[in-house]
Structure 1
Amino acid sequence: MNEFFKRLFVDPEPDDPARFGKEIATSAKRYLAFMIDYTWITLVLAGVYPFFMPELWDQKQTGELVVSLIPVYCLGVGLFLFRDGFGGSSIGKSFLNLYVVNLDQEMSLASQTQRVKRNLLLVILPVEIAAILLDKYARRYGDKWAGTLVVERIKPPKVRRITHKALGAMTLVCALWSLYVFAQPVSIKKASGFQQAQESLTGFSPLVEVVGEGWEFGYWPEVEYALDHTTYGFEVNGSLGKTKVEVVLDTTEARPKVVDIRLIRDEKSR
């Protein structure tokens, strides 16, 4: 325990990073790197969680939802703990030429154990953010505990390198955003309200007259939540054409009920 507190509060003078072709990362770059990491991890979790949502999730107790999403929580924790696994850098650090080094071994690459250890203290994130600002070497308590320092590789700027990194960042964001967008209908379709709205259209004669028999729903449902009702929008394709349908559910009671069905006919199908 004494060693733990000594690590946190005794601030040894590090070697001059310039001797090793490095310089200490500024707090601004540390923050930017963290925001990049936070963004991509959040997008990953937002794209994954719909697949773990239980059927009829909107009728479940909070405790049941929490249990169902335990794999997602574990994934998030794992991504944060092991985010510096790309040669001592996270994705955000790599973008800014930052990486984690071992203070006790002449600025050599920090071990995997050290990299995980320093990220454990992110559970006190507000304190860690403040520590970066207050510490003269921009070290948070996790760095002090693990005996690490975040440094920047001293490289002359090259247009090609910057362009490649910008393209890589845009590709990653687009891929993760696409995962998020395509995954959202999965959770919507598992809701009891959605399934009730969908079932209400079975045998709905005005719909059959417009699109014909054997119709099917499009992939992208729409949903609007209000205090006393929920509106689900469907695109329905059939042999006679296609149309949009809105089903309104009254949510003021424990068991929602359909109160209105509206056809919004596509102009091309008229």
Structure 2
Amino acid sequence: METNFASRKNRILAFLLDYLILTIIIVLPIIFFMMNEKNMESALSFSFFAVWLMIGFILYILKDSIKGASIGKWVIGIGIRDEENLERVPSILRLFLRNLLIIIWPIEFLILAANKDKQRLGDRLAHTVVVKVTEVSVWRKIFAIVSLTLISILLFISTILFTIKNTDAYETAITYIEGSEEIIQEAGGIEGYGFIPSGSVQINNGYGESLFTINIKGKEKDVKVRIYLTKTPKSDWKVQEAHYE
């Protein structure tokens, strides 16, 4: 009986789904960390990055530990099995060894493309194969890809917005706007602010620069304020320029 190996296309698709999921898990906390000015000024920032990246690497290595299938493989309907017994799921140690070689993924993909049994180096090291476990429709694959992509985009945008609005620089900008009689008069009073502010916060060795574009919802008319702030080590943010239209 011929072994029903998972196609290279499905394996690459599962890999991309796993990569997307792990990117969300790893990148979003880093964004939160970087947008906190006190963290970026701390000597522990490098340690945080190193530890969090190591956690992400370990998560990737152990991603197939549940029944030989990661989330991506489960969505696509494929799984890892012992090459001598296709009913047996390899041990966690063998799955660990298999994924360890993903650090040389360009070579792994080349070997996967050339190997007749569709094994990469990690498979050959752990004596495993990837097989089709369940039949999955094309629509399920498309739905999974589109859903994960949209969720990733929404999470990324939400994280950026949340972190920007919680920086000391942004709070200083809002305080300045609410204390500016000129801007308040132009808007006829402030009712609120736009949901999506644009801007950036950059800090290096305690010196910082921030530039925001903040939309004000005024009682008489809406006003767009562009505001530039700076800071020096051990000091608060200060507004240097502010223009509105």
TM-score w.r.t. length of structure 2: 0.75
Number of paired residues?
Answer: 238
Match in the other structure for 2:205 = none
Structure 1's 174 and 154: CA in aligned 2 closer, same or farther, altered over 3 A? closer
1:221 to 177, 180, 197: 197
Residue in 2 aligned with 1:13?
Answer: none
Give the aligned residue type for 1:260: E
Per-residue displacement from partner, 1:16-43 (whole Å, max 9, x unpaired)?
A: 6x3xxx4223333322321222123223
The match for 2:180 is: 204
- In structure 2, relative to structure 1, the CA distance for the partners of 1:66 and 1:220 (3 Å cut) is farther
Of the three residues 158, 177, 194, the one matched with 1:182 is 158
Answer whether contact 1:50 1:186 (CA < 8 A) is retained.
no
The structure 1 residue matched to 2:213, chosen from 230, 233, 244, is: 233
Q: CA RMSD in A?
A: 3.6
Q: Which amino acid aligns with 2:37?
A: L
Determine helix, strand or coil for the equivalent of 1:234: strand
Paired residue type of 2:24: L
1:235 Cα deviation (Å)? 2.4
CA contact (8 A) 1:211 1:239 kept: yes
- AA matched with 2:197: P
Seen in structure 2, the aligned counterparts of structure 1 residues 176 and 94 have a Cα distance that, compared at 3 Å, is: same
Match of 1:60 among 41, 47, 72: 41
Question: Helix, strand or coil: the match of 2:163?
Answer: helix
Query: 242-251 vs 25-34, which deviates more?
Result: 242-251
Higher radius of gyration, 1 or 2 = 1
Distance in 1, Cα, partners of 2:173 & 2:133 = 57
1:243 aligns with 2:223: yes
Contact 2:187 2:219 in 1 (8 A): yes
Q: Is the 8 A contact 1:59 1:192 kept in 2?
A: no
Displacement of 1:247 after TM fit? 1.0
Cα distance in structure 1, aligned partners of 2:86 and 2:191: 69
Q: Which moved more, 1:106-115 or 1:193-202?
A: 193-202
Q: State the TM-score, normalizing by the size of structure 1.
A: 0.69
Q: Deviations over 1:113-142 (max 9, x none)?
A: 322221122222233233323433222222
Superposed CA deviations along residues 218-242 of structure 1, whole A, max 9, x for unmatched, are: 442201699xx75311123455554
Distance in 2 of aligned mates of 1:222 and 1:191: 13
Note closer, same or farther for the CA distance 1:54–1:224 as it changes in structure 2 (3 Å cut): closer
Secondary structure of the residue aligned to 1:83 is coil
Gaps of 5+ in 2: 203-208
Secondary structure in structure 1 of the residue aligned to 2:4? strand
Q: Who is 1:100 aligned against?
A: 80
Change (3 A) 1:153 1:36: same
Asked if 1:132 corresponds to 2:108, the answer is: no
Q: Tell me, what secondary structure is at the counterpart of 2:95?
A: helix
